[in-house]
Structure 1
């Protein structure tokens, strides 16, 4: 529902947007009112010899009174169409049963204390708890209610000292990427005077031996790594001069407290990572480990050794090892070789072992190796699903991990590293019967002949009939692997008789770096082709038909569904496009968009302009086309992907579409990209999404 109108917005402007109607194209009369009319103010510029006209450039000004009036009018229109639709309350009640349950985060042990998050069924935000010993008394350490009565602020642990006596934590408002960082004494429950003001930070490392902390702050010139002693107001710049705002720098302390491992990334998923080591017991500057090799690296230190996960000369990933005191490339040794049919997704250090997390045909496998590289352990998976969150200490005999699947809510297991046995630590009491669901994995052929996998979830006993409501989800970018995980939206959709499909598109990391590179830069169209081929396969195999097929994606997935609906509007009945990138000729001009240039390219480059212009959804909306019904979702709190993309695209599609199906914008004034949304609002958002899909797909 509408979340409150800014009193500064002139009422006349709101009325203008709400009550001025537009004509609907086509011969069939729609069964919904027309959207608000939005004025155009064309801005034309020439890019590499082509004239590009933007009729809604004025909507890029987020704070102007006219833009705020546009937002209010769009929210009012969405309320009008979805607010009182039949079945909405029933959907909300069902989602409340799935989501209003106790949930818990993966514990981590420091100094004999166990730290974890927990949200009660009646709470809007998770609370941070600490337990004295594995079976000892527990108490609240951090309650977000301390910082906001309305549940709009969330708290997260950023780091814990190795002795468990001090925590660094962040306070986030409305899903923003920017946070405030504070420090709390665990024994007393009191905060230290040290405070890092609301900024964009890339992690923080508590340095117990130095009574200090290291943190990376993003500034106008780029990220810089600072070191500050507890109780002191002045920080010392440790690293970062010369790196521009397109770089990401983060650091983490090694297990022995001596080494600080520094990473420099070329954007969010670039092809190159620099690694530096800083000796916290010495007086010198950070030393380079690798700065010239064009490959990705992720380093951790334990037992005096530097462990490096990399795709250097190993597209599926491998782990190298070196002496932390002499980390030059010539001293590296391969510890865990590349596996031919499995992509390395990361590694953890626990119990003196290296646990490597692999995907083999998008199925989780976790294998443990000793420091010599010999396999000594393997964690089994009982069904299609995902192992995650493997967390332990190098000198401990236990670790914790999660398991989840489409039909299995996330469970936490404690793993005895010595005995090789697991025990259930926590399982939410979600009223869902996994035996009612069937999960299958299929493969379809994309436009260029590439085989692409897809998971399909439906009720047991269901048979394809060519007319089942189907929701297709995808992402396909930034080396992100889309894995079987529990989703209240997906489970509800299937429980109501639908089919839920998740495609593992090129651009992701499911099959290593080659799969990623096959869906980035000049190859980005492959991602869209894969998604379109998934839809065509579902139709050809009689799972559904175009009038009963919806697609859903957010962030980079918002770009995906935006491209799919502009390239093949005939395939889909409905589209949910959340927090999207859509104007691909200007995306890198806003917020942190320059981080994504290694993934997409930039229109400033003549060659890259060609492929961006070819698929940019905002520049490929055609007059009078019968586009699918669309629900755009964004909000002011998104300080990562500029909300202007959804504002402009909603206005453009409302003006150009034949409007036989509705085009709506839900604009939140206090939600964003980085999470932290209160549970009550999560339920409201999911209710609205399913209400929209049920309406458009003809679900009961």
Structure 2
């Protein structure tokens, strides 16, 4: 996806901790080799930098900081880098305010996050009615100013009566959110923040008197990191009561009779007008899990709750909505492009569920929302997402006319009290706006202020189907400015992800204009592992079939060269998070195709990932070394283990935040050290670090602009489009 963004500056302490002045570096600091061989299922793997996994070790920390200092010095010397950052900030500000995560509650109350055009961070806002006066509820920049550390709002959930809003806030990009409850009328917080509520699994009982939340257990110094997400509990707390009075109501150690796994992270779903509560589990990575149902009255009363299981992981339910006695479920079991089913909870046997919405022949149902009198689905076709209305009794539905070609996102009406629908809409060249769909007509609500002329003019958007190694056609979208000459001289950046079924989607990114203005080309590939064609396409880039992900990427790179967009001197590849597998294995398989690569908080060491706190949650997506077949798949997708000595690799830049809770910074550190030792090209290998960032979620606008300027400058430098100052 596109959200892994970081700051320009690491703390000034870095050079002191490294014990070296900036000018002392003629090359990056060398990491000692301390091989730790380990045998898995008869295969011995060498691991020369395993000691780096202890990032608290003073030696490792000093090496990390010295690498960050070296990278910072190298990037700051690139001609035009600062002007590029200024241009990116200018383009972003000119596009207007950003509004996201809008929730419409009963009584026309609307809650949302808003980042004004020149603000650093999004703020929690509310209004009554689409055109009501806007009111500021929470501004995380206040906490940032008090502590000197960036803060961000991770999630928020208003109570049904609109009197309170629960929200999670974390610092330094850590995503380690604490839960706060705010009285909307007075603007005062109720009680102290509740720690270890990282996931947005928060819900209110129908009477708004209790809030439920998932809380992680306390991890002691003797506990392994892999214990972090195990044995979490769903708590129920009366509004205004102290945290000590909260009751544990669901979870592996709370409801052992349900047979939950230790990694089952639970949440509760309530809806006004429904006597039911639905408990849902996931492993925080794959959306499918188990579903259980009980009566709200039993839960509020205390004591034993008669939970009844509705679905298991094998039923492949990924989304749910509750209205009255009916539970609506989106699933891909028996429906490769997904469908929506309805189950009457008075007889909660899944075999009794009826289909209420099926995907069109060329579409994929990516989400749905219930209105007062119907169902609306978001349907994907390639990188575009439209809306489709399903009247009662019509499983086929009909497509709605959209304002322009782009991607629509349904906005939440969790109480299902409105007959109309609010949705966001953006395109490759069109800024995001929020529309109201009333019947067949979409009207711009103007909730999101969009500056005049902010659309990307003069930009060509082309869709391609690229033949891969086995003949499969890989969708790729290419953006460039009109008049571009296809002579192979254009700086071109290939972006891909290919995991979890997440797809490249039409989106508006004003900062990308800074690249396009310099003659650049942007290519977005929906390689296998994405969900662009539904579940079969995702499964074709999953565990043992994962090689298709990077082989599709190589095919797309070769296509860009063959079509004259780029040459090996001007082509780069990038991938973030799990997209690090895509980009890393593209580079280690076909280094001759690229001038440069950027790995953004990337998964680099698939063999050791599951030893980290979040890595254990990704076993369901990538596999475990404990199983022979999955070990072999993990070894294939592990960039670190495919870096070969004396190989002419392209220039490489790793981007990482020291507070990353999703992909540990040691993955980038180990791979950077290995590339620096192995490459025979004499091209730079940089490790760009930010001490006040994590996985990108929660980074400020300033951090994002600086990160993008560093990436674009680095690529232009390595493509010969600019130089480094002496």
TM bin, normalised by shorter chain, reads over 0.9
2:294 matched to which residue of 1? Answer: 278
Does the alignment pair 1:300 with 2:316? Answer: no
Whether the 8 Å CA contact 1:504–1:510 is kept in 2: the answer is yes
By relative contact order (CA 8 Å, sep 6+), the higher-ranking structure is 2
The one of 84, 93, 98 aligned to 1:103 = 98
How far apart are 1:546 and its partner, in Å? 0.8
Alignment check: 8 A CA contact 2:152 2:170 kept: yes
1:336 pairs with 2:357: yes
Shifted more, 107-116 versus 676-685: the winner is 107-116
Moved more, 682-691 or 331-340: 331-340
Q: Which residue of 2 aligns with 1:183?
A: 181
Show CA shifts across 1:40-67 (max 9, x none): 1111222222222211111111111111
- Residue 389 (structure 2) aligns with: 368
SS of the equivalent of 1:184 reads: strand
For residue 247 of structure 1, what is the aligned residue in structure 2? 264
**Is it true that 1:420 corresponds to 2:441 in the alignment?**
yes
Equivalent residue runs for 1:437-586 within 5 Å: 437-586=459-608
Structure 2 counterpart of 1:654: 676
Q: 1:348 aligns with which of 369, 374, 383?
A: 369
Deviations 1:143-200 (A, max 9, x none): 1133220460012442111121110011111222320111011111111115311443
Residues 689, 674 of structure 1: alpha-carbon distance in 2 compared, 3 angstrom cutoff: closer
Please name the residue that 2:11 is paired with.
4
Q: Tell me the distance in 2 between the aligned counterparts of 1:136 and 1:19.
A: 59
**Residue 316 (structure 1) shift:** 0.8
Alignment partner, residue 129 of structure 1: 125
User: Helix, strand or coil: the match of 1:205?
Assistant: strand
- State the alpha-carbon separation in 1 of the partners of residues 22 and 90 from structure 2: 38
Task: Select the residue among 14, 31, 35 that pairs with 2:28.
Answer: 35
Q: Deviations over 1:202-255 (max 9, x none)?
A: 411022426111111233443322222221432222222253443333333235
Question: Deviations along 1:387-416, whole A, 9 cap, x unmatched?
Answer: 114333522133321111222221222333
Residues in 2 aligned to 1:291 and 1:571: alpha-carbon distance in whole angstroms: 45
Please state how far the C-alpha of 1:68 moved relative to its aligned partner: 1.5
CA contact (8 A) 1:409 1:430 kept: no
Task: Report the Cα distance in structure 2 between the residues aligned to 1:363 and 1:213, rounded to whole angstroms.
Answer: 37
The equivalent of 1:234 in structure 2 is 245
Output the TM-score relative to the length of structure 1: 0.93
Matched pairs, number: 684
Tell me, which stretches of 5 or more residues in structure 2 are unaligned? 1-7, 218-226, 253-258, 300-304
Question: 1:502 Cα shift?
Answer: 0.3
Q: Between 81-90 and 191-200, report the one with greater CA deviation.
A: 191-200
Report the CA distance between 1:474 and its aligned residue: 0.3
The change in CA–CA distance for 1:134 and 1:339 in structure 2 (over 3 A counts) is closer
SS at match of 2:233: strand
Displacement after TM superposition at 1:659 (Å): 4.1
- Does residue 380 (structure 1) correspond to residue 401 (structure 2)? The answer is yes
Distance 1:432 1:574, change over 3 A: farther
Q: CA deviation at 1:106?
A: 5.1
* Residue aligned with 1:263, SS: strand
Kindly tell me: are residues 507 and 163 of structure 1, through their superposed partners in 2, closer, same or farther at Cα, counting changes over 3 Å?
A: same
Contact 2:22 2:73 in 1 (8 A): no
Q: d(CA) in 2 for partners of 1:197 and 1:169? A: 12
Cα RMSD of the aligned pairs, angstroms, is: 2.3
Q: 5 Å matches for 1:595-674?
A: 595-673=617-695
Correspondent of 2:233 among 224, 231, 241: 224
Q: CA contact under 8 A between 1:269 and 1:479: conserved in structure 2?
A: no
SS in 2 for 1:440: strand
CA distance in 2, matches of 1:262, 1:182: 22
SS in 2 for 1:485: coil
Deviation larger for 675-684 or 419-428: 419-428
Question: Closer, same or farther in 2 for the Cα pair 1:428/1:479, shift >3 Å?
Answer: same
d(CA) in 2 for partners of 1:537, 1:412: 36
Q: Out of 67, 71, 80, which is 1:87 matched to? A: 80
Evaluate the alpha carbon distance shift between residue 432 and residue 130 of structure 1 in structure 2; reply closer, same or farther with a 3 A threshold: closer
SS of 2:113's partner is strand
Deviations 1:410-430 (A, max 9, x none): 12223334x634224224227
Q: C-alpha deviations, 1:620-673, integer Å up to 9, x for none?
A: 111111101111011221011111100111111111111421000011111112
1:320 aligns with 2:341: yes
Q: Deviations over 1:556-615 (max 9, x none)?
A: 111211111111111111101011111111110101111111221112212222222233
SS at match of 1:597: helix
Question: 1:265 Cα shift?
Answer: 2.4
How many Å separate the matches in 2 of 1:158 and 1:258? 24
Q: Could you say which residue in structure 2 is the equivalent of 1:173?
A: 171
- Cα–Cα, structure 1 residues 526 and 280, in superposed 2: closer, same or farther, change >3 Å? same
> What does 1:406-417 correspond to in 2, within 5 Å?
406-417=428-439
State the Cα distance separating 1:304 from its structure 2 match. Answer: 2.7
Report the 3-state secondary structure (helix = DSSP H, G, I; strand = E; otherwise coil) of the residue aligned with 2:361. Answer: coil
Name the residue aligned to 1:27.
none
How far, CA to CA, are the matches of 2:599 and 2:629 in structure 1?
A: 28
Q: Which moved more, 1:73-82 or 1:214-223?
A: 214-223
Cα distance change of structure 1 residues 245 and 62 upon mapping to structure 2, 3 Å threshold: farther
| TM-score normalised by L of structure 2 | 0.90
Q: Which stretch of structure 1 is more off in the superposition, 523-532 or 273-282?
A: 273-282
Quick one: distance in 2 between partners of 1:674 and 1:257?
Answer: 38
Structure 1 unaligned regions, length at least 5? 21-32
SS at match of 1:325: coil
Deviation at 1:432, TM superposition (A): 4.0
8 Å CA contact 1:276, 1:286 repeated in 2: yes
Query: What's the offset of the Cα at 1:84?
Result: 2.6
Q: Which of 198, 212, 234 in structure 2 is aligned with 1:200?
A: 198
Tell me, in whole angstroms, the C-alpha distance in 2 between the residues paired with 1:352 and 1:650: 55
Task: Check conservation: 1:223, 1:248, Cα contact below 8 A.
Answer: yes
Match status 1:147 vs 2:143: yes
Match of 2:457 among 429, 432, 435: 435
Task: Give yes or no for contact 2:325–2:344 (8 Å, CA) kept in 1.
Answer: yes
- Give the deviation of 1:73 after TM superposition: 1.0
- CA 1:14 to 1:488, structure 2 compared with 1: closer, same or farther past 3 Å? farther
Conserved? CA contact 1:320–1:335, under 8 Å = yes
